[in-house]
Amino acid sequence: MASRRSLQAEAAAFLPLTPTWFHILLTLSEQPTHGYAIRQAVDARTSGRLRLWPATLYGSIGELEDAGLIEEWAPADTPDALPRRFYKLTRLGVRVLVAETERLEGLVRLARAAVGRRRLT
């Protein structure tokens, strides 16, 4: 079994994530789903500030699959009769999302501290 440090290093090798990768992983952390649902969730979460057009979305899904962060998943039951490819996070994908979230939290703490000092002077 790999050590905790090597797992962290493996996840850290993917950082920083692009906004597209981050939002795809974040969506899949909520539940496994298909590409169009990912697109809708990202659009809603970002109030339209990040739009995943099909070429960007499916290109990124392919890259995330190749990187081992997500994998295709076959649900037992689908909500409609449309042929869709569903995806879910892998363990590595979860670790990478957690590592990126921690990295972003650190940046926010630094920025808040800097802004707080600026307001006081």
Return the closest-CA partner of residue 84 out of 39, 46, 33: 33
Q: Dig out the tokens for 66 from the structure.
A: 């190749």
Ramachandran category for residue 84: left, alpha or beta (phi over 0 → left; psi -120 to 50 → alpha): beta
pLDDT of the chain, 121 residues: tens digit per residue: 566 778 788 999 999 999 999 999 999 999 999 999 999 999 999 999 999 999 999 999 999 999 999 999 987 776 677 778 999 999 999 999 999 999 999 999 999 999 887 765 5
Q: Which amino acid is at 33?
A: T
> Which strands form 70-73's sheet, in the order they lie side by side?
33-34, 86-89, 70-73
CATH number of 4-120: 1.10.10.10
The CA-atom distances, in angstroms, between 51 and each of 16, 47, 72 are: 20, 9, 22
